[in-house]
A = this chain, B = another copy of it.
C-alpha cells in the first residue's frame, strides 16, 4: 500500500510485512532512542508507528527521566502499538548489583512491555542467562536478547555466539540482536569504517537455524543496504535512528535509488 498515493502506483519491491493486526515477526525495525521528548515522540509515532516495531531507550538513559515523563512517553509509544524497553546496559547494571528481580518488577510497573537481555559488558554464565530470560518471560515481558561484546577486545568466538542465539530462542527470546552499538563501527560484523565484513556475516548465518531469528544492529545506511540486498526487504534491523525510519522503509520497498535500480533491473 502507498498510503496517501494509494491508487496512484505500486511499491517497486513487493512483499513488505505489516505490523497489523498482531505484530510482525519478520521485517522488524527497532529504533534507538537517546532521549526524545514528548513532542518528538508524538511526531515519531504519528509519522512512523506503522514502520516501527520497537523503541529502545538506549544505554541507561531511562535512568534520567522523571517518572511522570517516562510514564507518559511509554504510554504514547504503547498506544501506537510499538514495543518499548530500556537498553541492555541498564539491565546489566541491575544484574551486576544483584537486583535483577527488582529491575524486572520496576520495568513492568513503569509500563515497559519488553526487555533487552545482554552481556555486552558483564559476564553471565550460560545457565544464569537461561534463568534471566525465563524470569522476564514469566513477568509477561517480551524478551529481546543480544549477543556480542561492546569492547572488541572481549569478542567471543562466532561458534559460541551461534550457540547462545540458539539457546536464547529456545528459552523464549523473540529475536536475538547482533551487537553493533550506536555507531556501528569496529564492532561485530562491521570494520572500523562501518563497512560490512562479509566473512563474519557468512559465519553467523551458517551457524544459525533461521536467519529470521536475528536482528542486525545496522545504524548506517550502507549496512542497512547490504543486509536488505542480502536477506531481502524483510530483514530485521535495529539501532535505526528515529530520523531514518522512513528512509529505511523507502530502502526496503524500492523507493530509494539503491534498491529501486535493482527492482527495475529484475522486472526488466
Contacts and interface: CB of A to CB of B under 8 A. Distances in A.
Interface of A: 2-5, 7-12, 34-40, 42-44, 46-48, 50-51, 58-67, 69-71, 89-90, 92-94, 96-97, 99, 102-103, 106, 110, 120-122, 150-151, 181-183, 221, 243-247, 249-250, 253-258, 260-261, 264
Contact of A250 (B60, B150, B247): B60
Contacts of A69: 46-47
Contact of A35 (B48, B63, B67, B90): B48
Nearest to A99: B9
9 contacts: A2-B63, A4-B62, A8-B106, A12-B96, A35-B247, A39-B40, A64-B250, A93-B254, A93-B260
A106 B39 contact: no
Kindly list the 10 A-B residue pairs having the minimum CB-CB distance in the complex, ordered from nearest.
A37-B43, A60-B255, A35-B246, A150-B257, A4-B67, A61-B246, A39-B39, A59-B250, A59-B256, A2-B63
B66 A255 contact: no
A94 B4 contact: no
Given A10-B97, A103-B9, A89 B40 contact: no
Given A47-B37, A120-B257, A94 B9 contact: yes
Contacts of A61: 246-247, 249-250, 255
A90 B2 CA distance: 11
B260 A92 contact: yes
Contact of A38 (B46, B51, B183, B260): B46
B43 A36 contact: yes
Contacts of A50: 64
A100 to B, nearest CB: 9
A70 to B, nearest CB: 5
Given A9-B102, A38-B46, A47-B65, 19 more contacts: A2-B63, A3-B67, A4-B65, A4-B66, A4-B71, A5-B62, A5-B103, A34-B246, A39-B43, A47-B69, A59-B255, A59-B256, A63-B250, A64-B249, A89-B257, A150-B261, A151-B261, A181-B257, A183-B221
Contacts of A11: 63
Contacts of A151: 257, 261
Contacts of A258: 150
A38 B48 CA distance: 12
